[in-house]
């Protein structure tokens, strides 16, 4: 082999090593998908914090069809427990909208499921090593028949299988009190948007102040007892009508918030 040929071979080898996470790499859960360049410390991955978000129409159409296969969304997430195979999705979808309009962040503990209501919260256990994480289910998938749940890259790192692509898991939903199921309701009946409910009043007030600078509608913090715990709800409204409510919701979602419809 000539020196020039050897140099070319070495260069190609270096490129292959640098970009080894390709569509044929078994570590990749989706074609063209992969992990971020920087490594993520499993200890830096925080559990999702369950909260009683309302169940809206967004992401919960049932039945729905993907590639000619029909799927149904469950009436409730309560009591759901199932074992199966988990995969993960990463950079290909980072920054894109999930099924309910939220923005996918591969560094957060989120997941996609075919049939659980959105949003739901679940504890996912890697049955190979016992590691656990609490995730917020805000997307639809996986649509491979042999897989149960798609986890964010961060969740896969926390569970210790990001380098493999799939693992066996147990998915158990977390039951929350005070959840409004508004899937069959029209936005015209509602005059409020809820941005969250927090145990810490300071967290709620900080969110109220931040949102109040961005919208013309009133933003308030109101206490509510949920399951024996005092929470502080951050709400926007009342607004004039359903059209204004939709415009306000779109504005807040475009700025990274996750507003849900709420009754007074």
Domain boundaries in the chain?
42-173, 187-262
- Model confidence pLDDT, tens digit, residues 109-162: 999 999 999 999 999 999 999 999 999 999 999 999 999 999 999 999 999 999
- The pLDDT of residue 5: 44
Fold (topology level) of 187-262: Alpha-Beta Plaits (3.30.70)
Among residues 180, 201, 206, 198, which one has the least CA distance to residue 264?
180
Question: CA-CA distance, 36 to 138, in Å (whole number)?
Answer: 21
Question: CA-CA distance, 252 to 195, in Å (whole number)?
Answer: 9
Name, of 96-105, 220-229, 234-243, the range with top average pLDDT.
96-105
Residues forming a β-bridge with 233:
197, 222
Please list the alpha-helical segments (H only) found in 173-241.
201-212
Of the CATH numbers 3.40.50.300, 3.40.50.20, 2.40.40.10, 3.40.47.10, which one belongs to the domain with range 42-173? 2.40.40.10
Among residues 183, 211, 188, which one has the least CA distance to residue 119?
183
């Amino acid at each position: 082999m000539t020196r020039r040929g050897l140099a070319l071979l070495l260069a190609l080898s270096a490129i292959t090593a640098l970009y080894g996470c390709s569509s044929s790499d078994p570590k990749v859960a989706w074609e063209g998908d992969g992990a971020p360049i920087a490594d993520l410390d499993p200890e830096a991955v925080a559990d999702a914090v369950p909260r009683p978000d309302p169940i809206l129409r967004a992401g919960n159409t049932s039945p729905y069809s993907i590639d000619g296969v029909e799927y149904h969304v469950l009436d409730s997430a309560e009591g759901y427990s199932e074992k199966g195979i988990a995969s993960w999705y990463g950079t290909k979808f980072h920054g894109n909208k999930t099924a309910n309009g939220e923005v996918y962040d591969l560094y957060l503990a989120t997941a996609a499921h075919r049939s659980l209501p959105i949003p739901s919260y679940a504890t996912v256990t890697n049955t190979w090593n016992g590691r656990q994480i609490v995730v917020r289910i805000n997307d639809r998938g996986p649509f491979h028949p042999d897989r149960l749940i798609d986890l964010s890259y961060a969740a896969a790192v926390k569970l210790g299988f990001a380098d493999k692509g799939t693992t066996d898991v147990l998915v158990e939903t977390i039951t929350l009190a005070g959840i409004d199921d508004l899937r069959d309701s029209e936005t015209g009946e509602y005059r409020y948007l809820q941005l969250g409910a927090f145990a810490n009043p300071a967290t709620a007030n900080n969110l109220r102040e931040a949102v109040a600078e961005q919208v013309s509608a009133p933003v308030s913090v109101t206490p509510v007892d949920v399951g024996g715990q005092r929470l502080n709800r951050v709400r926007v409204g009342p607004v004039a009508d359903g059209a204004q409510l939709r415009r306000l919701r779109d504005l807040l979602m475009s700025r990274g918030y996750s507003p849900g419809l709420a009754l007074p």
